[in-house]
């Protein structure tokens, strides 16, 4: 590094950079200054908030489990095999990252809605996804699982399959190699991917409200509850409390992952 040359920053860059920091910090400060700290404990402990929180945690946890079950195998196949059409599949998987969540919700409705072929079949078994808690979890999984796939694939790519070869010469069959070598070595990236997926699922709004609606106790997760109290009933205080709750959770995720994310940049 040319420390001597780059140590004194260009003033022309300093100003927009400072604006950038304020751009992120000011809304957060605004949020914190409007928190009604004296009523906060009672508001957080209120039945409505606790219901929304419980629902959020439930749905996002289910979303992560779904993402792990289908996402890790996909990441493995993308990283370690010469699966035909790999590039197309990878593009398809990353699409929900850039797709407007509302579009995702509408797309899920057209694929899994009650009147669709799949919806009809599920209906026979008494399963209805739209406007149900399961539907909310599926919408969250749809939006969150690309984070897991991308993170795990990158983690698997970081090391070649040499240790799997070692395991093979020691007599380990393919499944044992997968469970005893590949998965443990990929554990850090799986944990990071799951955390990212979970954070995204927890904050998911657009796809969830479109596919599952906003029924308190069934599909009204924290972000949706925050939006309804802000927009519908004009309870801005409640909206701020719910937002604060989400902010705290986000910061916790960031802290938990700081070594993996920021460590790489340091």
Partner 1 sequence: MTMRARVRTQLGSLRLDCDLSVDSDVTVAVLGPNGAGKTTLLRIIAGLVPVDEGHVEIDGAVFEDTATGTRQTPEARRVGFVFQDHGLFPHLSVLDNVAFGLRARGMKRKEANARAAEWLERVDLASYARSRPGALSGGQTQRAALARVLVTDPRALLLDEPLAAVDASGRLELRRALRERLSSFTGVRLLVTHDPLEAASLADRVIVLEDGRVTQEGPFGDVSARPRSAWIARMAGLNLLRGAVSDGAIRLDDGSSLTVATDVHGAALATIQPRAVALYRQPPAGSPRNVLRCTVAGIDPEGDRWRIRLEGPVPLIAEVTPAAAAELRLAEGGVVYAVVKATEIDVYAI
Site of interaction with partner 1 (CB under 8 A): 162-163, 165-173, 176, 180-181, 184-185, 187
Comparison of 192 and 244: residue with beta carbon closer to partner 1: 192
Comparison of 187 and 254: residue with beta carbon closer to partner 1: 187
Comparison of 89 and 191: residue with beta carbon closer to partner 1: 191
The maximal CA–CA distance of the chain, rounded, in angstroms, is 72
Q: How far is the CB of 161 from partner 1 (least distance, A)?
A: 10
Q: How far is the CB of 193 from partner 1 (least distance, A)?
A: 18
Comparison of 98 and 170: residue with beta carbon closer to partner 1: 170
Q: How far is the CB of 117 from partner 1 (least distance, A)?
A: 42
Q: How far is the CB of 191 from partner 1 (least distance, A)?
A: 13
Comparison of 170 and 255: residue with beta carbon closer to partner 1: 170
- Count the neighbouring beta carbons within 10 Å of the beta carbon of residue 21: 9
Q: How far is the CB of 82 from partner 1 (least distance, A)?
A: 15
């Amino acid at each position: 590094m040319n420390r001597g040359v780059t140590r004194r920053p260009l003033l022309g860059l300093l100003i927009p950079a400072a604006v950038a920091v304020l751009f992120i910090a000011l809304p957060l400060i605004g949020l914190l200054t409007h928190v009604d700290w004296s009523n906060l404990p009672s508001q957080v402990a209120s039945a409505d908030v606790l219901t929304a929180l419980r629902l959020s945690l439930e749905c996002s946890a289910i979303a992560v489990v779904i993402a792990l079950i289908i996402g890790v195998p996909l990441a493995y196949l993308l990283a370690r095999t010469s699966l035909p059409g790999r590039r197309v599949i990878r593009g398809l998987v990353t699409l929900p990252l850039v797709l407007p969540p509302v579009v995702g919700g509408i797309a899920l409705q057209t694929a899994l809605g009650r009147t669709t072929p799949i919806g009809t079949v599920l209906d026979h078994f008494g399963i209805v996804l739209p406007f149900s808690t399961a539907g909310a979890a599926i919408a969250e999984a749809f939006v969150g699982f690309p984070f897991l796939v991308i993170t795990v694939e990158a983690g698997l790519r970081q090391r070649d399959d040499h240790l799997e070869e070692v395991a093979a010469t020691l007599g380990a069959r393919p499944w044992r190699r997968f469970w005893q070598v590949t998965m443990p070595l990929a554990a850090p990236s799986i944990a990071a991917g799951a955390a990212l997926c979970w954070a995204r699922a927890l904050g998911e709004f657009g796809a969830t409200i479109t596919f599952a609606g906003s029924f308190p106790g069934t599909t009204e997760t924290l972000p949706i509850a925050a939006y309804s109290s802000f927009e519908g009933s004009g309870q801005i205080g409640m909206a701020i409390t719910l937002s604060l709750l989400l902010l705290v959770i986000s910061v916790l995720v960031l802290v938990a992952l700081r070594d993996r994310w920021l460590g790489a940049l340091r």
